[in-house]
Structure 1
Amino acid sequence: MRALPDPDTSRVVLVGVSRYTELEPLPAVANNLPALARTLTGPASWNLPAGHCTVVAEPDTPRDMLDPVKEAAGATSDTLLVYFAGHGLLDGRGELFFGLPRSVQGHSYTGVTYQALREIITGCAARRLVIILDCCMSGRALGLMGGEDLLADQAEIDGSYLLAAAPENGRALAPPGETYTAFTGALLAVLQHGIPGRPRELDLNAVYHHLRGELTAKGRPTPQKRDRNTAGRLVLARNQAYHPATAPAGQVEDGPDPADCHTPLAFLEALAEMRARTGLTIHAISQRADPPLAPATVSRLLNATTLPTTWKTIGRYLTACGLGPDQLQAWQSAWQRLRAQEPARPGAPGPDAEPPRTRSWRDRLPRRGEGPWRRFFPGCAVSRMPAMWR
């Protein structure tokens, strides 16, 4: 089930560095912080008391950044969210550290190592931990913030949810002339305006999948996520675009997340859970499909032990369960990922195999010298067999 944080026992720390002496400035970061603070303390999101959201702008020393995090961690029993925007750098060993105003690329002692932040976060008593990193490396042209594809892996904490702007190609965008960085701007749009066609409450997984689709469609860097346990069910915002009158009958508002399916069996079980959550029978689901599916087809899908080799039936089934395009894309990506991990099925033709040729009656006739005599004289040459057997 989705979980909404308790405002009285939750804390948020928003850290941003926009001014640098040795690195490119990131002026949009200065706008990110107050906008996020207003949203998280407003009714559209967590409605936190103002004193439970700490803004740390332009921290000059490691303690300037880490002391507020430590204080918030000590006061949190429900949910702790820590956000950082600025330059994310790598030291000589490839370890992640956050750039402070006087930080130098490659020298972690000039910034804040992720390990230092990690020690504080993992030591707190919060039930849920959320880390949002809109950070990257320096040395790029104005408007680009660099990153590494290992960013999310390095920042991962057990039992937490990490949302990172750094994409696989190692860059995160801070477009010149735009009010916010690309990632945080898209995040603010979701929190403030919602997602049409989605449930009343938007959890972290729903927000992530929407951001991924929106930013990729615009040709902007693709976000990453890493999550542990059920952190993805944490509600981040109330969907301002939610209209119950337009929601299709049987719509699943709190279905399983396909990204959490790490085995084919888990994926198939999630498909069955989708139907159970709609409250519809197999026959009703089959009739809702477009075009309709045979009830037996739906039954075979839900009782399968191996992944279907094609997406078509799964897509029609999930559409009948009430999923929208963004949700379908997430399920299809999970199906493709798991299909790629499956070993080749015995006897299954490869993707480039030619279709089998239909044999004619002439092909099925025994060829000269291949009659039944071979069962009795397997080692004999044809030339030595009696003529009547040839």
Structure 2
Amino acid sequence: MRALPDPVASRAVLVGVSRYTVLEPLPAVANNLPVLARALTGPTSWNLPAGHCTVVAEPDTSRDMLDPVKEAAEATSDTLLVYFAGHGLLDGRGELFFGLPRSIQGRSYTGVTYQALREIITDCAARRLVIILDCCMSGRALGLMGGEDLLADQAEIDGSYLLAAAPENGRALAPPGETHTAFTGELLNVLQYGIPDQPRGLDLNTVYHHLRGELAAKGRPTPQKRDRNTAGRLILAHNQAYRPAAAPARPLTETDWPDPDDCPTPLAFLEALAEMRALTGLSISAISQRADPPLAPATVSRLLNATTLPATWKTTSRYLAACGLAAVQIEAWQRAWQRLRAQEEEPTSPESPTPDAEPPRARAWWDRLAGREDRWQR
């Protein structure tokens, strides 16, 4: 089931290094950060509060880069996204480290090791982790044991997704004259313009396969990923190119409908209602006539274009029945509506995980990767 992160309980940290004293400068990286931040805090993506998306531009020291990641990890109970763009370098043992402004190839102490980032994320209590690395050699972070053409699309723990811009032994690109780096430029196109002929919500797997196809067609490095089970179903963007089908290709079943339990916010709930009408292939007018008793088209339109939950349940119930949901399904949606209404009336602290929050879920993944490092062929 596809799911949106809860913006109140989620965080993003975007790190970029564009200015280097020894290595080649990467001016496009500086352009990546503000645009990606606007996307993640806007309605086309996660709609994070501005204070939940931290931009770390040109960190001078390891602490400058990692302290914001640790702070975000400690404050996150739903989804944590960490993005790095800059030079990806190898130390004397062939292990990945991230280039800081004064970094030197082969000397990991001049940058930030991948191990240091991993140690922070190991202790994160977030339910889901998304790591995006737009740097050379970023495929090293995947723990691959073969060459760059041997993609292992498997991870060790639910809820973890690592997206690397380049293969294990490959280079990421910052093409001269282009505003953004090659990988992040394609990612921003997806966030801003969507993907034609894809669902309303673009999950990580859909975005990954699109990026891979687009970049390969342009002769550029192809991204790699590592995930497990439900991690790839996390929605990254609302598809701006989405167009509802004229009619369903087959009778809809219970599993075709959005799941109310995957609606952590009122906005997600309302977007799921709109997705239902799209799945039916019926117009607003047709849905209105199918309701019992009929609803005014303007009433349905207001419901589907609302930005806050309806104060009463009756209209939503009639709308769901008109879409074709059974009584037991409508009851599940009513419970979700009641849950979200209660959250609006009694907001919880965004900085404190709930008492029954899940324990850190990433430890097994990172620990297994750590255990394999000395076997990796760099």
Q: TM-score, normalised by structure 2?
A: 0.62
Contact 1:151–1:166 under 8 Å retained in 2: no
Aligned pair in 2 of structure 1 residues 165, 249: CA closer, same or farther (>3 Å)? Answer: same
Please list the CA deviations of residues 304-348 of structure 1 after superposition, one character each: whole Å capped at 9, or x if unmatched: xxxxxxxxxxxxxxxxxxxxxxxxxxxxxxxxxxxxxxxxxxxxx
Any stretches of 5+ residues in structure 1 without a counterpart? 137-146, 256-277, 280-390
Aligned pair in 2 of structure 1 residues 18, 10: CA closer, same or farther (>3 Å)? Answer: same
Any stretches of 5+ residues in structure 2 without a counterpart? 146-154, 257-278, 281-378
Aligned partner of 2:142 among 149, 152, 171: 152
Contact 1:15–1:83 under 8 Å retained in 2: yes
Contact 1:14–1:56 under 8 Å retained in 2: yes
Specify the alignment match of 2:43 in structure 1.
43
Contact 1:158–1:228 under 8 Å retained in 2: yes
Contact 2:114–2:141 under 8 Å retained in 1: no
Corresponding position: 1:218 with 2:208: no
How many angstroms apart in 2 are the aligned matches of 1:54 and 1:132? 15
Specify the alignment match of 2:98 in structure 1.
98
Aligned pair in 2 of structure 1 residues 149, 245: CA closer, same or farther (>3 Å)? Answer: closer
Corresponding position: 1:239 with 2:239: yes
Letter in 1 for 2:191: L
How far the C-alpha of 1:199 sits from its partner, in A, is 0.5
Specify the alignment match of 2:260 in structure 1.
none
Contact 2:140–2:169 under 8 Å retained in 1: no
Corresponding position: 1:135 with 2:135: yes
RMSD: 2.4
How many angstroms apart in 1 are the aligned matches of 2:105 and 2:244? 51
Please list the CA deviations of residues 248-291 of structure 1 after superposition, one character each: whole Å capped at 9, or x if unmatched: 62499999xxxxxxxxxxxxxxxxxxxxxx99xxxxxxxxxxxx
Contact 1:18–1:58 under 8 Å retained in 2: yes
How many angstroms apart in 2 are the aligned matches of 1:5 and 1:247? 29
Specify the alignment match of 1:208 in structure 2.
208
Q: Secondary structure at the residue paired with 2:219?
A: coil
How far the C-alpha of 1:246 sits from its partner, in A, is 4.8
How many angstroms apart in 2 are the aligned matches of 1:251 and 1:59? 54
Corresponding position: 1:52 with 2:52: yes
Q: Among the aligned pairs, what percent are the same residue?
A: 81
Q: Secondary structure at the residue paired with 1:226?
A: strand
Contact 1:118–1:157 under 8 Å retained in 2: no
How many angstroms apart in 1 are the aligned matches of 2:184 and 2:156? 22
Aligned pair in 2 of structure 1 residues 74, 175: CA closer, same or farther (>3 Å)? Answer: same
How far the C-alpha of 1:229 sits from its partner, in A, is 3.3
Q: Secondary structure at the residue paired with 1:245?
A: coil
Specify the alignment match of 1:167 in structure 2.
167
Aligned pair in 2 of structure 1 residues 252, 35: CA closer, same or farther (>3 Å)? Answer: farther
Q: TM-score, normalised by structure 1?
A: 0.60
Corresponding position: 1:191 with 2:191: yes
How many angstroms apart in 2 are the aligned matches of 1:10 and 1:244? 29
How many angstroms apart in 1 are the aligned matches of 2:250 and 2:183? 33
Aligned pair in 2 of structure 1 residues 42, 148: CA closer, same or farther (>3 Å)? Answer: closer
Corresponding position: 1:124 with 2:124: yes
How many angstroms apart in 1 are the aligned matches of 2:127 and 2:234? 11
Letter in 1 for 2:176: P
How many angstroms apart in 2 are the aligned matches of 1:213 and 1:157? 26
Specify the alignment match of 2:33 in structure 1.
33
How many angstroms apart in 1 are the aligned matches of 2:31 and 2:248? 38
Count of aligned pairs: 247
Specify the alignment match of 1:291 in structure 2.
none
Contact 1:197–1:247 under 8 Å retained in 2: no
Please list the CA deviations of residues 56-104 of structure 1 after superposition, one character each: whole Å capped at 9, or x if unmatched: 0000000000000000000000000000000011101111110000000
How far the C-alpha of 1:130 sits from its partner, in A, is 0.2
Higher relative contact order (CA 8 A, sep 6+): 2
Please list the CA deviations of residues 142-164 of structure 1 after superposition, one character each: whole Å capped at 9, or x if unmatched: xxxxx265342279774410111
Letter in 2 for 1:8: V
Q: Secondary structure at the residue paired with 1:48?
A: coil
How many angstroms apart in 2 are the aligned matches of 1:52 and 1:148? 25
